Amino acid sequence: MVGRARFAFTVLCFGYAFLYVPIALVIAYSFNASRLVTVWAGFSLHWWQALLHNEAMLSAAWLSLRIALVSATLSTLLGLAAGYVLARVPRFPGRMLFGSLVIAPMVMPEVVMGISMLLLFVGSQQFLGGPDRGFLTIVIGHTTFSLSFVAIVVQARLADFDRSLEEAAMDLGATPWTTFRTVTLPLIAPALGSGWLLAFTLSLDDLIMTQFVAGAATQTLPMRVYSSVRLGVDPQINVLATIIVAVAAAALIVSVRLTRR
Amino acid sequence: MNSQPIVRIEKLAKRFGEIEAVAGVDLEIVRGELFALLGGSGCGKTTLLRLLAGFETPDAGRILIDGQDMTGVSPHLRPVNMMFQSYALFPHMDVAANVAYGLRRERVPKQEIRTRVAEALALVKLDGHGARRPAQLSGGQRQRVALARALVKRPKLLLLDEPLAALDRKLREGTRFELVRLQEQLDLTFIVVTHDQEEAMSMASRLAVMDAGRIAQIGTPHELYEHPASRFVADFIGIANILDLGNGQWLALRPEKITLSIGRPDMAQAISGEVVDIAYEGDRSLYRIAVKGGPVMLVSRTNTVRTSEEAFRRGQTVWLGWNNDAGQVLDG
């Protein structure tokens, strides 16, 4: 038994190492003094300072953050509505189609989604005169695919929701809207919170869809990182990666806390 | 005093797909009574209750509560409150907020809410538990919170769906009397749905036995037990020996109405049989007796004397005797 336990422990260590050593290395090398990404030359905060003065990178990060905030909020509202209908309305004309449409962005290749979005925006610009490609079109693009994830989370939460709680509220004199506001919403709030965080992270690191709908003048953080890597990697990338890992880890911890409650 | 019935149900029907859950029910419920709807699972008793609360819309017929037609009236506008089988306490609110929920929807002033919630909690003996969460309470306490929440709005009619089903046996018996006490003290009308005939019999002033969406019989517990209207009711409530009298007539005879003796008794009806089985239940013993050339009959004897053995042995031949008025003659 001891031998088996030791074997299992070794396998576990390899598994964790495979997943986390690269991340740990990125974090460590963000404090590297050397100009080369892969050669260690002592501890330094040089590249952290450099990144903080890199206007292009910072403005791209700020743009990505704003897009992620807006699109996560929009996806949460729309995803809540879609998930609620899917969980609560057993039949209406086109229910099958609606259900498939909600899930479609999750299974459809993002390249296809990107092209179709681009065609839509080009068309709308020709015939309606807008919107110009940039902030708004990226938000719309990101919302389209993130809302599916929120809808699925909400639908799953409502599926195992005790309906008699809502009936009890109505029985006690609450209108359907008050029932939703005072009983349904507080009880599915953790699911909404984790849905929002999921949408936020999806938007923050999306590259493919963004490249199609961004237009020429707009550059988000992932686009900026991708293009700077192609020009030659700079240790600032390590610093940026470290910050993103920290933000993602924080979001993950909050999300787990929310769903556990 | 208003002598008009508090609830009047007329030709009410509701079907779910192929199943007729409620199939033409007529029923009147008197103000201030504790009425029980009794039946097996799937007999339509819960659907009837949900129709009263407004969670289901009837396919036909109508419900009048206090003289007002409730057809098309949403649950939140009905002068009715319900206690759910699962209790349906709001897990994200403490006990006081659960009880206050209905009053807040009516926009009752804060100060009045506080006093009425305290009163309701005192009524169910939960004073001082207002700050607890439902998850921190025992099953019996949760049941009482659910009751307080349903009572606090002083509804004209309180619907209770299997109010005691989730409690253990000991607690159930105490709570049964507690419910009757509350109902009498507050002078409310209760409709209790239950599958437990003992519960229905001991609590209700009147009860209806339901079968396949229809009401088989309505009456006081005594009427239903001693004068069942059909073989279904006789068999459903308590234990009955149902004897074929020929000509399509049957006799429903309760086990305790039969006397056992060694010699032939001096009674209008007497037959002999062999003791097949004895079930000793403490307060009484149930005998299964195979009548010669007839059915196996159940006879019960109250154990009024402390003894260490039964009065009759298995395999013994005994006489069964009863008077002509001991059973109910049934046509169907």
Q: Spell out which residues of chain A touch residue B82, defining contact as CB-CB under 8 Å.
A: 167-168, 171
Mean pLDDT of all residues in chain A?
A: 88
CA distance A256 to chain B (A): 19
Test mutation, A163, A166, A171, A192, chain B, max B CBs within 10 A:
A171
Please report the pLDDT score of residue B192 as a whole number. 94
- Tell if the CB–CB gap between B90 and A168 is shorter than 8 Å: yes
- Tell if the CB–CB gap between B55 and A167 is shorter than 8 Å: yes
Helices A185-204 and A236-260 meet at what angle, rounded to 10? 160
Q: Shortest CB distance from A164 goes to which of B84, B92, B106? A: B84
Please report the pLDDT score of residue A260 as a whole number. 65
Residues β-bridged to residue B7:
B29, B65
Of residues A227 and B117, more confidence is placed in: B117
Distance of CA B283 to the CA centre of its chain: 23
Convert the pLDDT of each residue in B234-291 to its tens digit: 989 988 999 888 888 899 999 999 999 998 998 988 999 999 999 999 899 999 999 9
Please report the pLDDT score of residue B1 as a whole number. 47
DSSP 8-state code for residue B257: G
Is B212 in the same domain as B312? no
Is B227 in the same domain as B258? no
Pairing of strands B189-194, B34-38: parallel
Please report the pLDDT score of residue B71 as a whole number. 87
Test mutation, B92, B145, B152, B158, chain A, max A CBs within 10 A:
B92
The CATH number linked to B322 is 2.40.50.140
Q: Letter for the amino acid at B292? A: K
Q: Shortest CB distance from A174 goes to which of B76, B82, B84? A: B76
Is B226 in the same domain as B259? no
Of A11-15, A230-234, B15-19, B227-231, the one with minimum mean pLDDT is A230-234
Domain count, chain B: 2
Contact call for residues B131 and B95 (beta carbons, < 8 A): yes
Give the C-alpha distances (Å, rounded to integers) separating A191 from A43, A87, A188, B274. 42, 14, 5, 68
For the segment B288-314, the average pLDDT, to the nearest whole number, is: 88
Is B237 within the bounds of a domain? no
pLDDT confidence bin for B332, thresholds 50/70/90: low
Domain definitions of chain A by residue range: 58-235
pLDDT confidence bin for A48, thresholds 50/70/90: confident
Is B244 within the bounds of a domain? no
Please report the pLDDT score of residue A105 as a whole number. 87
For the segment A99-107, the average pLDDT, to the nearest whole number, is: 88
For the segment B177-182, the average pLDDT, to the nearest whole number, is: 89
Range of the domain at B295: 254-330
Give the C-alpha distances (Å, rounded to integers) separating B85 from A58, A189, B139, B141, B162. 58, 26, 12, 14, 5
Of residues B1 and B311, more confidence is placed in: B311
Chain A residue nearest residue B56, CA to CA? A167
Three-state DSSP at B136 gives helix
Of B231, B264, B289, the position where a domain reaches its end is B231
Please report the pLDDT score of residue A148 as a whole number. 92
Is B211 in the same domain as B318? no
**Inter-chain Cβ pairs, chain A and chain B, closer than 8 A:** 56
Does the pLDDT of residue B2 top 60, yes or no? no
| B206-211 sheet: strands from edge to edge | B80-83, B157-161, B189-194, B34-38, B206-211, B214-219
Is B220 within the bounds of a domain? yes
Q: Spell out which residues of chain A touch residue B101, defining contact as CB-CB under 8 Å.
A: 169, 172, 174, 182
- Tell if the CB–CB gap between A168 and B84 is shorter than 8 Å: yes
Q: Spell out which residues of chain B touch residue A169, defining contact as CB-CB under 8 Å.
A: 90, 101
Is B319 in the same domain as B196? no
Is B273 in the same domain as B211? no
- Token reading at B98: 């659960």
Q: Spell out which residues of chain B touch residue A175, defining contact as CB-CB under 8 Å.
A: 76
* Nearest to B64, CA basis, from B96, B29, B113: B29
Q: Spell out which residues of chain A touch residue B51, defining contact as CB-CB under 8 Å.
A: none
Of B231, B262, B287, the position where a domain reaches its end is B231
For the segment A70-88, the average pLDDT, to the nearest whole number, is: 94
Of residues A35 and A194, more confidence is placed in: A194
Helices A135-159 and A185-204 meet at what angle, rounded to 10? 140
Please report the pLDDT score of residue B33 as a whole number. 92
Is B90 within the bounds of a domain? yes
Chain A residue nearest residue B97, CA to CA? A182
CA distance B218 to chain A (A): 27
Q: What percent of chain B has pLDDT over 70?
A: 99
CA distance B88 to chain A (A): 5
Q: What is the biggest distance separating any 2 CA atoms in chain A, rounded to whole angstroms?
A: 73
Convert the pLDDT of each residue in B49-103 to its tens digit: 999 999 999 999 999 999 899 988 999 999 999 999 999 999 999 999 999 999 9
ipTM of the complex: 0.85
pLDDT confidence bin for A50, thresholds 50/70/90: confident
By a Cβ cutoff of 8 Å, what residues of chain A touch chain B?
162, 164-165, 167-176, 178, 182-183, 186-187
Give the DSSP H/E element, type plus range, for residue B35: strand B34-38
Contact call for residues B105 and A173 (beta carbons, < 8 A): yes
CA distance A199 to chain B (A): 26
Please report the pLDDT score of residue B4 as a whole number. 81
Q: What percent of chain A has pLDDT over 90?
A: 37
Please report the pLDDT score of residue B221 as a whole number. 94
CA distance A70 to chain B (A): 29
Is B177 in the same domain as B300? no
How much helix, strand and coil, in percent to the nearest 5, is found in chain B? 30, 35, 40
Is B268 in the same domain as B326? yes
Rounded Cα distance, B312 and A26, in Å: 90
Of A123-127, A135-139, A232-236, B139-143, the one with minimum mean pLDDT is A232-236
Of residues A130 and B39, more confidence is placed in: B39
Three-state DSSP at A94 gives coil
| B317-322 sheet: strands from edge to edge | B259-261, B317-322, B269-280, B284-291, B296-302
Q: Which residues of B253-287 are buried (b: 16+ CB within 10 A; e: fewer)?
A: bbbbbbbbbeeebebebebebebeebeeeeeebbb
Please report the pLDDT score of residue A184 as a whole number. 93
pLDDT confidence bin for B206, thresholds 50/70/90: very high
Is B223 in the same domain as B271? no
Q: Spell out which residues of chain A touch residue B90, defining contact as CB-CB under 8 Å.
A: 165, 168-169, 183
Please report the pLDDT score of residue A1 as a whole number. 58
CATH class of A58-235: mainly alpha
Contact call for residues B51 and B14 (beta carbons, < 8 A): yes
Rounded Cα distance, B121 and B128, in Å: 8
Of A216-225, B146-155, B182-191, B264-273, the one with minimum mean pLDDT is A216-225
Is B186 in the same domain as B143? yes
- Tell if the CB–CB gap between A183 and B76 is shorter than 8 Å: no
| Contacts for A195 with CB less than 8 Å, ≥ 6 apart | A75, A76, A79, A80, A149, A150, A153, A154
Is B249 within the bounds of a domain? no
- Tell if the CB–CB gap between B86 and A162 is shorter than 8 Å: yes
For the segment B218-245, the average pLDDT, to the nearest whole number, is: 91
Q: Spell out which residues of chain A touch residue B83, defining contact as CB-CB under 8 Å.
A: none
- Euclidean distance between the first and final Cα of chain A, in Å? 37
Q: Letter for the amino acid at B13? A: A
- Rounded to 5 degrees, what are φ and ψ at A225? -60, -45
